[in-house]
Amino acid sequence: MNQLHCQQNAEYYPERGKMAAPFLETGMIIGLKRSFQVEKMVGGGGFGQIYRAVDLESKLVVAVKVEPKSTDPGRIVLELNILVQLAHSSHIPKVYYSGETGAFNFIIMQLLGSNIAELRKFQKTRSFSVETTARVGIQCLEGLKQIHTLGYIHRDIKPSNICAGIGEHKRILYIVDFGMARRIRLPDGSFRPERPYASFRGTSRYVSLAAHERKETGFVDDIWCLFFSLLELVEGLPWKNIADQDQVCFAKRQLLANFQSRKMGRNFEMFPQILEHTKRTDIPDYERLSGILKSCCVSFNDLEEFEWDDH
Ligand code: ADP
């Protein structure tokens, strides 16, 4: 993090999400060695807020992710660290700068478009086509492979953490929010020891059965999150209105006991079967899983524009 540079007095608002009171004001300037002018809030998560801003020197439009220092400063530092290590990955936003202002830490990064949870809701059918779903899956598998190769698991893969690119990157999807990531493999290739009990991390609707059971998770568990996300995008999840975690877990077991997909077809049935046979410390077969997604499509073209019009 760069040195403190406070242009305005920022206050900490305890509310969460995009509806929370803004941490930063429109027009304020942040940054020390480089200056960025805040324009408007474009996203809000469980901890932070995302703003569109302009780099006053290069005029590049950027995103600012800001988190109150009073939450857990380790989160944004971890996120920054991972983003820097993933600087050359095609499905992770580029990081340009970081710093602090008043009560907040911030990261300046590549500005993205809407997340695919929002984009799905804008569709007339509230769902994506098989082709779009397969493209989302294949691009996310590439992104996850890049993250996993570094030894990290994301632990909160879900539609609202997958954003479409903008401008020349509008056919590319990006994985965001590394605040819950964990390093499970060390640079020497060894795995961190398995804990007998792992506290719950992630979002109940999408996590793997292992996460529900408070077991140590691995690379494959990110792909389970992706699997449930894809199912939601293409045809919805039976547990969408269930809040109780145990009931969600039960509904997932029921679904997997006889998994069939109305829209994706028979080939998609192999996807969870492969995951079931992938152990926590196994490297998932990303290519085979991508091949399954491709085989679900009548025609697959990753170069076309996506079916959504960004809002
Ligand atoms: P939190 O860590 O607080 O949960 P996230 O990183 O998940 O926050 O971001 C919240 C939302 O902001 C995301 O769902 C996404 O829609 C949006 N967002 C995240 N990163 C960017 C970005 N670089 N550009 C544009 N929007 C983004």
Ligand 1 within 6 A of 49 CB?
Answer: no
- Catalytic residue IDs: 156
Ligand 1 within 6 A of 179 CB?
Answer: yes
Return the number of other C-beta atoms located less than 10 Å from residue 50's C-beta.
22
* C-alpha separations of 135 from 87, 89, 115, 207, 308 in Å: 22, 17, 15, 21, 13
Ligand 1 within 6 A of 163 CB?
Answer: yes
Structure tokens at 218: 């691995």
Closest C-alpha to ligand 1, atom 23: 111
Ligand 1 within 6 A of 131 CB?
Answer: no
Closest C-alpha to ligand 1, atom 26: 112
Residue-by-residue pLDDT tens, the chain, 311 positions: 333 233 232 333 344 555 668 899 999 999 999 999 999 999 987 889 999 999 999 999 999 999 998 877 778 999 999 999 999 999 999 999 999 988 899 999 999 999 999 999 999 999 999 999 999 999 999 999 999 999 999 999 999 999 999 999 999 999 999 999 999 999 999 999 999 999 999 999 999 999 999 999 999 999 999 999 999 999 999 999 999 999 999 999 999 999 999 999 999 999 999 999 999 999 999 999 999 999 999 999 988 889 986 55
Ligand 1 within 6 A of 297 CB?
Answer: no
Mutate to test the pocket of ligand 1, among 66, 119, 177 (most ligand atoms within 8 A of CB): 177
- Report CA(290)–ligand 1 centroid distance (Å): 26
- Report CA(194)–ligand 1 centroid distance (Å): 30
| CA neighbor of 149 nearest in space, from 194, 174, 183 | 183
Closest C-alpha to ligand 1, atom 4: 45
How far apart, in whole angstroms, are the C-alpha atoms of residue 273 and residue 249? 17
Percentage of the chain lying above the pLDDT 90 cut: 84
Ligand 1 within 6 A of 165 CB?
Answer: no
Ligand 1 within 6 A of 119 CB?
Answer: no
Mutate to test the pocket of ligand 1, among 13, 15, 41, 50 (most ligand atoms within 8 A of CB): 50
- Report CA(112)–ligand 1 centroid distance (Å): 9
Q: What atom in ligand 1 is closest to the CA of residue 179? A: 2
Quick one: pLDDT at residue 14? 40
Crossing angle between the packed helical segments 219-235 and 130-149, to the nearest 10 degrees: 160
Ligand 1 within 6 A of 160 CB?
Answer: yes
Q: What atom in ligand 1 is closest to the CA of residue 161? A: 14
Closest C-alpha to ligand 1, atom 6: 177
How far apart, in whole angstroms, are the C-alpha atoms of residue 202 and residue 208? 9
Ligand 1 within 6 A of 164 CB?
Answer: no
Q: Output the 3-class SS for 62-93.
A: EEEEEEECCCCHHHHHHHHHHHHHCCCCCCCC
Quick one: pLDDT at residue 11? 33
| CA neighbor of 260 nearest in space, from 271, 269, 251 | 269
